[in-house]
Amino acid sequence: MAKLLVKLQRYFRRKPVRFFTLLALYLAAGSLVFLHSGFSGEPTVPGSPRSPAGGEGPGLPYLGVMQLSRGFKAAATVPDGGRRHGPWFKSTSKEPAERGKPRESSGTRSRALRGRSGREKEEDRARYIGCYVDNTRHRTLRGMSFFDYKKMTVFRCQDNCAERGYLYAGLEFGAECYCGHKIQASNASESECNMECKGERSNTCGGINRLSIYRLELAQESARRYGSAIFRGCFRRPDNVSIALPASQLMLNMSVDKCVDFCTEKEYPLSALAGTSCRCGFPTTLFPLHEREDEQLCAQKCAGEEFESCGTADYLLVYQTQVQDNRCMDRRFLPSRAKQLVALASFPGAGNTWARHLIELATGFYTGSYYFDGSLYNKGFKGERDHWRSGRTICIKTHESGQKEIESFDSAILLIRNPYKALMAEFNRKYGGHIGFAAHAHWKGKEWPEFVANYAPWWATHTLDWLRYGKKVLVVHFEDLKRDLFVQLQRMVGLLGIAACEDRLLCVEGQKDGNFKRSGLRKLEYDPYTPEMRKMISGYIRTVDAALKLRNLSGVPDDYYPR
C-alpha cells in the first residue's frame, strides 16, 4: 500500500495539472451531493408512513416536534413556478397604438377553428355565446376590466370575472378582459373575432372593437352584483342619516344603475337606495353594515325599473360601488424598531397571506416574513424583502414548527384552518402558484397521496408545537375570521399593540379580499380524500381539539367534523 502511495505521489509531482484537475472534479462532485441532500427531501414527519421512526399517527396524544430540512422550509413557502409577475395592469406600452394596423388575413380561418376547439374545452366552466360589437365610449360589458398585453388567456379572464361574481366574461384585442352582468350591444360576425390571445395562441380573444363573450356557468353566488356594484344587503335607516350618508339626491325615476352611478361620480364607496332618494357615504360606526334585515323589507319596486327593488324610506338597499375606500390603504414601515417580534404563524394553506393583507390594512404597517417570496413583494407586500429580525414590520409570517424557531418570537397569532381545506389549498399553491390550481393529473397521480401522507401530520404538529413552545399565543380560526372579520381582526390588532380605529376596520371589511383569493371556478367535481386519508386526518383533528381544550381554549370549529 505504501509503495502505491509513493508511486502516486511521484506521478502527480511530474504532472501537477492532472492532480489539480482531479481535485477540482472531486470537490465539484461533493458540492452537488451536498446540494441535492439539502434541497430535494420531503419533510420528515413523526407518524408519517415515510418516517419509520415515527409513531402510529392519529392515536398519539402528542405528535412531537416536526423535523424539517432547511431545503424544505424554502420549498414550503416559495412557489415552485419560479418568477411570477406583478398585478395585472392597464398597459402603457405601444401595443394599443397598433389597433389601427391591419392584421394579416392569412390563417384567420385556422385561428377561428382553434378558438372553437378551445371553447369546447371550456364548456364545463363557461359557455361561449358569440362575438359582439364593443365601443370605447359605451362598453358592452360595464363591470371590472383589466389588460395584459403579454399573458392574457381565456381562462384567466373567465376566472377573474367569476371570482367577482359576474355572469359574463369578454375578451378583446387579444389582451383585454371585460366583465359584466348585461350584454349591451349587438352580435357581430364570428370572422371579426379573429385575434389570438397574447398568452395562448391556440385560442381567440376577440378582435378590434370586438368581444368574444362567455357566460360563466359556475360564477360565484356569494358575491351578488348589479353591474359593477356589489350587493351588501337591506339595512335599517341609521338615526343620523344625513351624517352617516352625507351625499344625497332625489330621483323620481330611481333605478339601481342611477343611484350607483351618482355615488360613483361623487366618489363614495356605498350607494344606498331609499325609495326615491339616493344616498352615498362610507361604512362608519353610525352605519357599520353589520345588522342585515330581511330583504322583503326593502322590496319596493323602483320607479325607473320595474324588475328592481329600491328600498324604502326606513329600510335602505345598499350596494358597494367600484370607488375604493382609501381610509385604510396607506401603509408604511414602523417609525421605530419594534421592541418585540410577533409571529403570524400558520400551517401552509391556512390563509396566512390573506391575514397579512387584513393586518396591513387594519394597522397601516407592513408585515414581514421569515422567508422571501418575490411574487408577494411584487403584489405589494413590501416588508417581504426585509430581514425578519429587522424590527421594521408589525408581525412576521412563518410556517416554522421547531422549538428553536418558535422560541425566537416574543408572541404569536396562531392561525388554524380546517385541515381538509388547508391541505387542498397548499397542494394547489405547490403545483399552481398563489392563486392557481393543481392540474387534474396531479390530483389523480401519486403526488396527492404522497402530499397528504407527509403534510397531514404536520398540520397537527404545527399547532401542537406552537401551543407548547409559544410564549404568548393568540389562537384565531380561519373560519371565524371569515365569518366575523370585524371582531377577530380587533383581537389580532390588540395583540400587536395597536389601538384599533373602528372606521379603519370597517374600511377593511370592504377591501377584505385582496389579490390572493382563489376563485371557485375550478372546484374539484369529486372528493380527493380516500376513507383511509379521512380516518387519519380525523385522528389529527381530535388531537388538536384536545390540546386546545386542555389550555382552556375553544376547540376546533364544528365544521371540521364530520368528514
Q: What's the whole-number mean pLDDT along residues 277-283? A: 95
Residues 6+ apart with CB under 8 A from 9: none
Same domain, 204 and 296: no
Distance CA 286, CA 511 (A): 19
Distance CA 532, CA 539 (A): 11
Residue type, 226: Y
| DSSP, residue by residue, 251-290 | -TT--HHHHHHHHHHTT-SEEEEETTEEEEE--BTTB-S-
Which has more confidence, 47 or 508?
508
User: Per residue in 147-160, pLDDT tens?
Assistant: 888 889 998 898 88
Same domain, 179 and 230: no
Same domain, 386 and 292: no
Burial class of residue 373 (count of CB atoms within 10 Å of its CB; 0-12, 13-18, 19+): buried
- Given a contact cutoff of 8 angstroms between Cβ atoms, the answer to whether 198 and 151 are in contact is yes
Categorize the per-residue pLDDT at 483 as very low, low, confident or very high, splitting at 50, 70 and 90: confident
Same domain, 353 and 430: yes
Strand pairing report for 229-236 and 225-226: antiparallel
Q: Is residue 1 predicted with pLDDT exceeding 70?
A: no
Strand pairing report for 145-147 and 176-180: antiparallel
Q: Is residue 140 predicted with pLDDT exceeding 80?
A: yes
- Residue where a domain terminates, one of 265, 290, 320: 320
Distance CA 339, CA 327 (A): 27
Q: Is residue 386 predicted with pLDDT exceeding 60?
A: yes
Which has more confidence, 317 or 438?
317
Nine-digit cell string for 162: 367569476
**CATH number assigned to the domain comprising residue 396:** 3.40.50.300
Q: Is residue 54 predicted with pLDDT exceeding 60?
A: no
The domain in which residue 199 lies consists of 126-216
Q: What's the whole-number mean pLDDT along residues 176-196? A: 89
Determine, yes or no, domain membership for 45: no
Same domain, 175 and 235: no
Which has more confidence, 98 or 499?
499
- Residue where a domain terminates, one of 216, 237, 263: 216
Same domain, 396 and 493: yes
Which of 70-74, 160-164, 366-370 is the most confident on average?
366-370
From edge to edge, which strands make up the β-sheet containing 396-398?
368-369, 396-398, 342-346, 411-416, 473-477
Which has more confidence, 104 or 466?
466
Distance CA 367, CA 142 (A): 35
Same domain, 251 and 212: no
Determine, yes or no, domain membership for 504: yes
The pLDDT assigned to 523 comes to: 61
Q: E strands, 86-165, where? A: 126-133, 145-147
- Residue where a domain terminates, one of 216, 241, 259: 216
Determine, yes or no, domain membership for 80: no
Same domain, 264 and 351: no
The pLDDT assigned to 59 comes to: 41
Same domain, 262 and 394: no
Q: What's the whole-number mean pLDDT along residues 438-446? A: 88
Determine, yes or no, domain membership for 118: no
Distance CA 393, CA 366 (A): 5
The pLDDT assigned to 34 comes to: 54
- Torsion sign across C-alpha atoms 198, 382, 411, 505: negative
3-state helix, strand, coil in the chain (%, to 5): 40, 15, 45
Categorize the per-residue pLDDT at 161 as very low, low, confident or very high, splitting at 50, 70 and 90: confident
Q: What is the pTM of this model?
A: 0.60
Q: Is residue 543 predicted with pLDDT exceeding 90?
A: yes
Which has more confidence, 461 or 558?
461
Q: Count other C-beta atoms under 10 Å from residue 287's C-beta.
A: 25
Cα 525 to its chain centre, rounded Å, is 21
Mean pLDDT of the chain: 79
The pLDDT assigned to 141 comes to: 87
Determine, yes or no, domain membership for 267: yes
Domain count of the chain?
3
Same domain, 369 and 277: no
- Least-confidence region, from 53-57, 319-323, 533-537: 53-57
Determine, yes or no, domain membership for 513: yes
Distance CA 456, CA 468 (A): 19
Distance CA 88, CA 379 (A): 10
Element (H, E) at 196: strand 196-197
Interior CA angle at 378 toward 376 and 380, to 5°? 75
Distance CA 174, CA 151 (A): 10
Element (H, E) at 412: strand 411-416
Categorize the per-residue pLDDT at 222 as very low, low, confident or very high, splitting at 50, 70 and 90: very low
Determine, yes or no, domain membership for 138: yes
The pLDDT assigned to 518 comes to: 54
| DSSP, residue by residue, 198-257 | TTEEEEE--BTTEEEEEEETT--SSS-EETTEEEEEEEEPPTTHHHHS-EEEE-TT--HH
Which has more confidence, 521 or 186?
186
The pLDDT assigned to 31 comes to: 66
Nine-digit cell string for 464: 401542537
Categorize the per-residue pLDDT at 224 as very low, low, confident or very high, splitting at 50, 70 and 90: low
Same domain, 360 and 503: yes
Same domain, 285 and 427: no
Nine-digit cell string for 359: 393586518
Determine, yes or no, domain membership for 23: no
Residues 6+ apart with CB under 8 A from 230: 165, 223, 224, 319, 320
